[in-house]
Chains A and B, each alone.
Chain A
Amino acid sequence: MATLEIKDLHVSVEGKEIIKGVSIEVNKNEVHALMGPNGSGKSTLSFALAGHPKYTVTRGSATFKGEDLLTMPPDERARAGLFLAFQYPAAVPGVTVGNFLRTAVNAKRAGGAPVKALTGKDAEIAGKNGSQISAREFLKVLKENMKNLGLKEDFAFRYLNDGFSGGEKKRVEILQMAVLKPEIAILDETDSGLDIDAMKTVSDGVNRMVGPAMGALVITHYQRLLNYIRPQVVHVMMDGRIVTSGGPDFALELEAKGYDWIRQKYGVASSAAA
């Protein structure tokens, strides 16, 4: 059984069906690329998998490490090892990147039991028995990862995505992935907004993690990213369905020829957003 196994998934938003039967299997050690025109449903699929309450699964199934993903609340999915790098990460003023991520790490360690911001003796004990990560230890891990991603140290103390540039937001998404160490990561257009150097830094960050411990579903519009992060499979989504898939070089072909020929070949009507 695949680590992430999606079968005939149908997803509706506000009563409208957006995903109309998608099946994909992603394993650790694999990279799948997901491409497709604007509005075809790529982000909708990611949100549904991450458990956004607005996205209702009306049919089909999704399992993660053999367990039913769809009955889990979003935080449980994350703790189980699923990660979504958002296309448009939300800003949370007043909550620092460091504080937030430390809480997330401790939440994972506590397995969803309420995590108290422990102080003094309690923190010491929790640090020693490994149930919680100490502030010092965490800061070390965070700083190392920030350095790898070309983020200045003061980001640890900045408010989450508040006033971040587009590219900074994307780097911080990958920073979170690096610290949380998921087993499957869905990266929704992590490349858009990144400058040329950042694209390389961020890709290196992803590549360091893909392997026996992690697999990835990489959503992108550009073949360029796939030069850095090499996929085994490239899927094309149109109008809520995966209409065709190809090998690593399929992206090159798409880049050269566009999507119209696929529409014609598979009989997909051109969607409103396209």
Chain B
Amino acid sequence: MATSDETRIQELTRAKDDYKEVYGFSDREDYSFKSQKGLNTRVVDQISHMKEEPEWMRQFRQRSLQIFEKKQMPTWGGDLSTLNFDDIYYYVKPSDRSNEGSWDDVPEYIKRTFDKLGIPAAEQKFLGGVGAQYESEVVYHSLQEKWAKQGVIFLDPSEAMKQYPDLFKQYFGTVIPPADNKFAALNSAAWSGGSFVYVPPGVHVEVPLQAYFRINAKNMGQFERTLIIADEGSYVHYVEGCTAPVYSSDSLHSAVVELIAKKGARLRYTTIQNWSKNVYNLVTKRAMAYEGATVEWVDGNLGSKLTMKYPAVYMMEPGAKGEVLSIAFAGDGQHQDAGGKMVHCAPHTQSQIISKSISKGTGRTSYRGLVKVEKGAKDVKSHVRCDALLLDPESKSDTFPYMENEEDRVSIGHEATVSKIGDEQLFYLMSRGVPEGEAMTMIVRGFIEPLVKELPMEYAVELNRLIELEMTGACG
């Protein structure tokens, strides 16, 4: 490893001690606006008003609120019985200042928070652009000159709605309509923050764009909304990370992420989710891939109390490809219900879902996946593989693979394994002098290595660090 790489990595990996110290600190709540608890038509109007939105968006929010109220809670997946929608703050604005402008304009206490998390330092080194969201609002957004010149747009969606109203309206809500599910409806009513990305035809953004999400307040709901359009023949890699303080009461994070990959485009979306263990993480992520386009979701879930997330790719035209690489780690009291969804709407399309999950202590991981082949989608190939590793006798894992196939010229493969840490492996490593804890960590890291090596090195190192933290059991 070259020294410059090592320095880069060091700046990113502040995860040295335990979660509480590194991510779990909290700031004083000193906001310019905080809505009342609970969501109703008045709060929704308030959000829309404060954001100076056009009338169509206000109506969209109100319609979504009605849908949210009518929709049933999902009865599958994780335990949502203790989630109280009335006990949550839906909109918290940290500062009156707009997110345009420089890092210097960000309020001091927020700057300190992101400094601690290593956000601005990382930016100059290897990122094309950075967005940082604190509570409901994006506090900082920047894009390197080089990409801005080529027409790349990377903005807070509210800002994009103002600066590029037509482009925004053309795509917003087209991939995931509010009626898709209860949480998509909730997000559509209360959304705030997130990212809007547009990459013009043929432009290859070689370095990742990164967004960082931070919840600080207690009982906070964060509903960011991300929309990425990769125009014909373009390439972009978007990375998101997220953390929150450790509180005894629960917070809710419910994002909607819409991706559109046009003809021949390649879009990669990487998540390293490290919410504290009092956060419900209920996210809807979906992509449309057009002719010959490729969409890859790399989804790492380590934090949260309960995650329910199944990134989807709809392959709309021939030659489209979809891929999900999912890594889940559930420690004591955590439930990671994750997987992927591949919908083949056109012939000659290919998909792959690879899932690796690790359960430790009373942790539980569930793989939930769907491969669907629509009528007329001939010559389709799909491959699903999920491997679960259980570290303790009380650890749990289950698999829910669903297939719906309307065609006959398809090849769908499915493999699943569940294993325990092998005594013989453990003894072998220890017999060379490696202490037990580290030998376990090595085996776990080895288990997810095939997926981790798909990540850019900075994130691979970050993920390995987080796993190490989880393994030493120091997390809040």
Binding site for B on A (CB under 8 A): 50-54, 73-75, 77-79, 84, 86, 89-95, 100-101, 103-104, 107-108, 112, 114-115, 117, 119-123, 135, 159, 176, 180
Contact = CB atoms under 8 A, between A and B. Distances in A.
B430 A75 contact: yes
Contacts of B443: 92, 95
Interface string B419-433: 000111101111111
B64 interface: no
Enumerate the 7 nearest inter-chain pairs by beta-carbon distance, A residue then B residue, closest first: A94-B446, A94-B449, A120-B10, A78-B433, A95-B446, A104-B432, A90-B428
A122 B465 CA distance: 15
Contacts of B449: 93-95, 159
Interface in B95-133: none
B445 interface: yes
20 contacts: A50-B431, A75-B433, A75-B434, A79-B433, A86-B428, A90-B422, A92-B425, A92-B442, A94-B449, A95-B429, A95-B443, A100-B442, A103-B442, A114-B472, A115-B438, A119-B461, A120-B6, A120-B7, A121-B10, A180-B432
Given A94-B445, A159-B446, 13 more contacts: A52-B427, A90-B427, A94-B446, A94-B449, A95-B429, A100-B434, A114-B435, A114-B437, A115-B435, A119-B461, A120-B6, A135-B1, A180-B432
B454 to A, nearest CB: 13
Interface in B428-472: 428-439, 442-443, 445-450, 461, 464, 468, 472
A120 B1 CA distance: 10
A53 B6 contact: no
Contacts of A159: 446, 449
Given A73-B430, A100-B432, A121-B10, A94 B438 contact: no
A114 B437 CA distance: 8
B13 interface: yes
A176 B435 CA distance: 17
Contacts of A104: 432-434
Contacts of B13: 119
Interface of B: 1, 6-7, 9-10, 13, 422-425, 427-439, 442-443, 445-450, 461, 464, 468, 472
Nearest to B11: A120
Nearest to A123: B6
Given A112-B435, A120-B10, A74 B430 contact: yes
A131 B448 CA distance: 29
A72 to B, nearest CB: 11
